[in-house]
Every structure is written in structure tokens, then in C-alpha cells.
Amino acid sequence: MGVKITGTGSYIPSKVEKNESFYNHEFLNADGSSINSPNEVIVEKFKAITGIQERRYIKKDLLNSDIGFFAAEKAIENANIDKESIDYIIVAHNYGDVKHDTQQSDTVPSIASRIKHLLKIRNPKCVGYDILFGCPGWLEGVIQAKAFIASGIAKRCLVVGTETLSRVIDKHDRDSMIYSDGAGAVIVEQTNDEGGIIAHETATFTYDEAHFIYFGETNHPEINDQRRYIKMYGRKIYEFAITNVPMALKTCLDKSGIDIRDVKKILIHQANEKMDEAIVKRFFQLYDMEIPEGVMPMTINTLGNSSVATVPTLYDMILNGKLDNQEIHKGDIIIFASVGAGMNINAVVYQQ
């Protein structure tokens, strides 16, 4: 018996926003002062650090709950299950439904309730709730689903990660180029197969780290509206992540009893290419190893950072042959991992 992912789905917006579209932005420092570099140089430096060449934005008429529904519908179809048999719908996001060109987020009813409504599930015992856990939210939802199933409370859960960060970015902040939109979903259930979720690890660091990612005012000193935007202390996050995430991965893997040489893939949150590479490199160094070729697939170069959606969309793309030179086979050992606002870290050792 195991608790396994039996279906996957994702929604990747069709609108492509290339780096060149930022050439006409007025980027400013956090204190409102000018940056003494042309935008072409700013964008090229950004690409060298993050690896991002383009990202995806949703169309004006769509909402976060809409794209979460699209991904959920695909996961249900892929799992070939009756949607009325779902016990829990767990939806990870951070900013709710933000309509195009508005200042307010809408979270009542919850995004989970909205997705359940769009799925037209009648069963009132299918319980939907939201989880706010920064970028690691989807993976924490999977961990919670496993706990529900292992305890006998549930047999089958739908876990969705959906975010529309394009609606909460400050166009005067260079960090706005990082963020994108997307949604991923999985069905998690008890099966007779071996494997599935073998071990998990979660940690929250708040003593000094709680506000490394926050909601703040625009960098433009002459704009006085009440709107708030996603902001972060990038250097502090980088140092935090490369110090703490490798150890969390090691703790999780050691708990599983799996040999690191048996790990086929590490599906890590697509936050920043250089940071992710540094995390995984340090993780393997803890076992006196170099990073094996192809172990860390990446989508950030074309999809950007869609927060809670990056890991489930990456997983779904690989399973459906949509990522070049990347495959996952039955029996493969995978590590899912994420780090983000909170500051939160989590990891799961999983056998396909």
C-alpha cells in the first residue's frame, strides 16, 4: 500500500512575455532613486542571474481560480476518477483572485470553494480549503493530503497550486521580471502499488527571516495609491536558501533510507536558476558527490517563477513528454523540494 500521485494536470498561459518587453519600463531602486544603467543592461544581467528569458501571463478575462480549475480538471481526467469521490480539495496560492487592473484581492469564498464550484462537484463531504504557505504551498498540500489519507480521514485528495503573480508585480521593480502565472494539480490517493510518498520534511524560519518576502509599496516615489506589490530581499533569500535547503533535503532523504545514488530527479521550485543550481550542488556535496547530469530539470527559462505552480507544472510536463531530454519512469526515486515566503522549506522523497 502506498500514497501516490495518480493523476496530474497543468495550465500554462498562452501569453508569452519576453525579456525585451521590459526595455521600456522605468526601473527604480527600492528608495525611488534611478538606476544608472540602460534597461538593456539591466535585463541582460537579470537573465544571467535568473536564467529567465520569457514568462507567461494569463489573459485579462481570467482569474487565478479559473486556471486552477483548468489544471484540476486535467488531473481528474488523467487519474480517470469520479470527481464526486474526492474527499479534499487543497488549493495553494498566495494572493487569491486579483482581477485585471484592480487593487484588491478577493479570497471570499476561498479559491478551493471556487474551484469546486467550477468543477461542479455536488458532494458536500468534499471539503475545500486554501493553504497560504508561500511558494512551497503546493508541496505542503501534498504532505497534508498524505497525512489525511494515512490517518484514514480521506482516501482521495485533489491538490492544486495556482498563482497569477502578474497581477501583483510592481513595474518599477526589477524583480517584477521574475514572476509569472500558472497552475498545476495532482490527485493523491491510496493505492495498492508500492512506493509513493516515502518521507517528507517541512520547516518554517521566522526569527529573522519572516519578512524576506513581503507586500510593499511601489518603488516609484510619486505614486501614492493604496496598492501593494510582491517584494523581496533577494540577497537575503539567496543566502538563506543555499544554507538551509540542502540540509532539509538531506534530512528528508536520510529519513527515507534511500541512497542518494538512487535519486533520479530533483524537482525543485523554479525560483532562480543560479540559486537552484547552488542548492542542488551543495546538497550533493553533503554526500561528497557532484551533481549527476540531468538530475535537475528546469523550466524557469521559459516559464518564469509561478510560485506554487512551478513544481506541479514541471512534474506534469515531464510525465507528458513536454520537456526535452527528461523522463520519469515507474519506480524512479524523485525528490520534490521548495523554498519561499514564510520563510518556509519543504521536501518529499517520492517513488514513482
| pLDDT tens sequence across 135-180 | 999 999 999 999 999 999 999 999 999 999 999 999 999 999 999 9
Q: What is the pLDDT of residue 1?
A: 75
- Among 166, 193, 220, the domain-final residue is 193
Both 322 and 183 in one domain: the answer is no
Both 164 and 27 in one domain: the answer is yes
Number of domains in the chain: 2
Both 25 and 122 in one domain: the answer is yes
Both 119 and 253 in one domain: the answer is no
Both 9 and 53 in one domain: the answer is yes
Q: What is the pTM of this model?
A: 0.94
Q: What is the pLDDT of residue 315?
A: 98
Range of the domain at 52: 2-193
Both 203 and 257 in one domain: the answer is yes
209 confidence band (pLDDT: 50, 70, 90): very high
Q: What is the pLDDT of residue 103?
A: 79
- Among 174, 193, 212, the domain-final residue is 193
Both 43 and 70 in one domain: the answer is yes
Q: Which residues contact 291 (CB under 8 A, 6 or more apart)?
A: 277, 280, 281, 284
Both 189 and 220 in one domain: the answer is no
- Is pLDDT of 251 > 90? yes
10-28 mean pLDDT: 93
pLDDT tens readout for residues 290-315 = 999 999 999 999 999 999 999 999 99
Both 207 and 345 in one domain: the answer is yes
- Among 144, 177, 193, the domain-final residue is 193
Both 61 and 144 in one domain: the answer is yes
Both 136 and 246 in one domain: the answer is no
Q: 313: closest CA among 71, 124, 117, 108? A: 71
**Candidate from 36-40, 237-241, 276-280 with smallest mean pLDDT:** 36-40
pLDDT tens readout for residues 63-97 = 999 999 999 999 999 999 999 999 999 999 999 99
Residue 162 contacts residue 111 (beta carbons within 8 Å): yes
Both 134 and 217 in one domain: the answer is no
pLDDT tens readout for residues 102-113 = 878 899 999 999
CATH number assigned to the domain comprising residue 85: 3.40.47.10
242-270 mean pLDDT: 97
